[in-house]
Amino acid sequence: FKRIQLEERSKDELYKMGDTFNQMIDLLENNYDKQKQFVSNASHELRTPLTIIESYASLLKRRGLDRPDLFMESVEAIHSEAVRMKEMTEQLLLLARHEEQWNLKLEAVDLSSQAEQLSREFLQAYSRRVDVVLSEELLQTPALTTIWTDAGKLRQLLFILLDNARKYSSDIITLELGLYPIPTEVSYSGRVASSNAERNRYIRVVDRGIGIPESELPKVFDRFYRVDQARTRQDTGGSGLGLTLAQRIAEALGASVHLQSEEGQGTTAIVTLPATAKHMSGFSANSN
């Protein structure tokens, strides 16, 4: 055999290529591990309500006809677990779709009427009071409550945050809207370049519920993560996917979502939202 003699330069290039390949393998392995973890978490989470449904169904089969009390209890448990599974699969589908690309639709959205609408729905569906509070600036200039965004996705984001406030508190929830206090940009000529109309908007969802321990705060946006799993699952029937989805939606809208919380005192979720489409990743170039 004849050894292949590499010139110094080609050796360098080969090493570089080897490096690149190794990095690609690391990346692929990492993604594969994450996918595996996701599928295994998802199956585990779906199996829990299925097990409950299965055991109540078999109880119904054995005793349902002669024990009316067991009949009602079983039907109610089966119904609520089925609702939970439905919500979870819907959220899983939305998360999976996000990996592709959401086709967002840009339109003029009146934040104040959207908040009022959600407030009416929460009163109707859950008998929970949601007070909508506008900042002084918005009260003075009502036109500033209208921004350019995707109405459906924003609604979904606010719904998740309100629903958490509802699940983890029992008092009135407040939905506050205002202009984010970002200092006005000054252009090179010294003229003020941005107006109030261009300033970010904030939406705060404030509850006075059980709160989140400080050590758990960084983890609650992780997929399937729930604080004090055993207790909250029983009380609220959540999936641990809500905040993950909320964060993905916020990213697509060019927005951000943060939580401030104190255990036993309550939680405030803050959404910061751009007023125009400039920074939004989820909108395709031909959106207008």
Q: Would you count residue 45 as binding ligand ADP (CB under 6 A)?
A: no
- Nearer Cβ to ligand ADP, position 210 or 277? 210
Residue 160 contacts residue 245 (beta carbons within 8 Å): yes
Q: In a 3-state reduction of DSSP, which class is residue 206?
A: strand
Name which of residues 116 to 175 contact ligand ADP (CB under 6 A). Answer: 164-165, 167-168
- Nearer Cβ to ligand ADP, position 75 or 270? 270
Residue 282 contacts residue 255 (beta carbons within 8 Å): no
Q: Please name every residue paired with 259 in a beta bridge, in sequence order, or none if there are none.
A: 269
Q: Please name every residue paired with 261 in a beta bridge, in sequence order, or none if there are none.
A: 267
- Nearer Cβ to ligand ADP, position 200 or 244? 244
Q: In a 3-state reduction of DSSP, which class is residue 173?
A: strand
The minimum distance between CB 24 and ligand ADP, in angstroms, equals 32
Closest to 255 in 3D by CA, of 228, 275, 230, 229: 275
The minimum distance between CB 209 and ligand ADP, in angstroms, equals 5
Closest to 159 in 3D by CA, of 51, 257, 37: 257
- Nearer Cβ to ligand ADP, position 146 or 256? 256
What is the distance between the alpha carbons of residues 226 and 48, in angstroms, rounded to a whole number? 15
- Nearer Cβ to ligand ADP, position 23 or 229? 229
Name which of residues 184 to 243 contact ligand ADP (CB under 6 A). Answer: 207, 209-212, 220, 225-227, 232, 238-243
**Residue nearest to ligand ADP according to CB distances in the complex:** 238
Point out which residues bind ligand ADP (CB under 6 A). Answer: 164-165, 167-168, 207, 209-212, 220, 225-227, 232, 238-244, 267
